[in-house]
Amino acid sequence: MPTALITGATAGIGAAFARRLAADGFALVLVARDEKRLADTAAALHRRYGVQADTLAADLATDKGITAVEDRLREGVDLLVNNAGFGHPGAALDVPIADEVTMLRVHCEAVLRLTMAALPSIRTRARGGVINVASVAAFFPHGTYSASKAWVVNFSESLAAQIPERRVRIMALCPGFVRTEFHDRASIDTSGIPGFLWLSTDRVVDAAMRDFARGLRVSVPDARYKAIAAVSRFLPHNLPGQILRRKALRAGRP
């Protein structure tokens, strides 16, 4: 039975990956911080799909947490889904520097270290791979969140180009707005986001697994977001900055 390790597996996109991979017959290793929620998620997956679901409580914003997950990955897995992540409210200049550093640790350092810990066993098996959850935000400059996701895309693509084994795949997944706990947790106001732009977690994961099987290096689920990502190449690079500046002026902030 193949094994998949998923970070951020208790909510949103990570939980949808866990359901999908359990349905596909993967044994699971679920990673997140909240131990009770991990245990409940694992028990529900075992009940519903009959698969083994182990848990590993780890905070990927800490060296100890990353090291614990690296150790588990070195025992061998077939698929790693680097999914854990979070957002910040407000404009880049308002975010405390400590929160920015934490974001870089979870979105970049953890993704780098966990990918490198997983790859040797995956390459020995000559199949499987790594899915790194980035965002369409990677295609627009908008603070540390976008920059960290741009790193994830660039890192995944460059690594994929260096892997000689045909059936070992590294893919960056770039979803648009997805209904999860992400925005509430970050106190991000979503009232201005039109309904048609929201995607469901299951739809994102279905598209991701299809693109992964096809060997794509970057997956952008949904035609609307494919178009947005394509158009982003032709937009002025400072457009999001101009929009944010106008919003801040309207709100009476400098």
Helices (H) and strands (E) in the chain — how many of each? 10, 7
Minimal distance, residue 77 CB to ligand NAP, in Å: 17
Sequence-distant (6+) residues with CB within 8 A of 43 are 53
Region from 114-122, 153-161, 179-187, 211-219 binding ligand NAP, contact rule CB under 6 A: 179-187
Which residue lies nearer to ligand NAP by CB, 3 or 41? 41
Catalytic choice (17, 145, 155, 182):
145
User: For residue 154, which of 176, 169, 139, 175 has the smallest C-alpha distance?
Assistant: 139
User: For residue 115, which of 51, 47, 171, 188 has the smallest C-alpha distance?
Assistant: 171
Contact string (CB under 6 A) for ligand NAP, positions 182-211, x = contact: x--x--------------------------
Minimal distance, residue 106 CB to ligand NAP, in Å: 5
CB 51 within 8 A of CB 28: yes
Does residue 78 bind ligand NAP (CB under 6 A)?
no
Does residue 34 bind ligand NAP (CB under 6 A)?
yes
Label residue 192 exposed, middle or buried (CB < 10 Å: 0-12, 13-18, 19+).
Answer: exposed
Contact string (CB under 6 A) for ligand NAP, positions 98-127, x = contact: --------x---------------------
Minimal distance, residue 138 CB to ligand NAP, in Å: 9
The upper half-sphere exposure of residue 111, i.e. CA atoms within 13 Å in the direction of its Cβ, equals 31
Does residue 60 bind ligand NAP (CB under 6 A)?
yes
Euclidean distance between the first and the last CA atom of the chain, given in angstroms as a whole number:
57
Does residue 180 bind ligand NAP (CB under 6 A)?
yes
Cα Dmax for the chain: 58
Position among 175, 208, 220, 225 found at the interface with ligand NAP (CB under 6 A): 175
CB 29 within 8 A of CB 5: yes
Minimal distance, residue 152 CB to ligand NAP, in Å: 8
| 145 is an active site residue | yes
Does residue 11 bind ligand NAP (CB under 6 A)?
yes
Distances (CA, A) of 146 to 50, 59, 97, 156: 38, 22, 16, 15
Position among 4, 13, 28, 117 found at the interface with ligand NAP (CB under 6 A): 13
Sequence-distant (6+) residues with CB within 8 A of 16 are 201, 202, 204, 205
Which residue lies nearer to ligand NAP by CB, 62 or 125? 62
Region from 18-26, 70-78, 176-184, 246-254 binding ligand NAP, contact rule CB under 6 A: 176-184
Structure tokens at 163: 């892997």
Catalytic residues: 145
> Contact residues for ligand NAP (CB under 6 A)?
7-14, 32-34, 37, 59-61, 83-86, 106, 133, 135, 175, 177-178, 180-182, 185
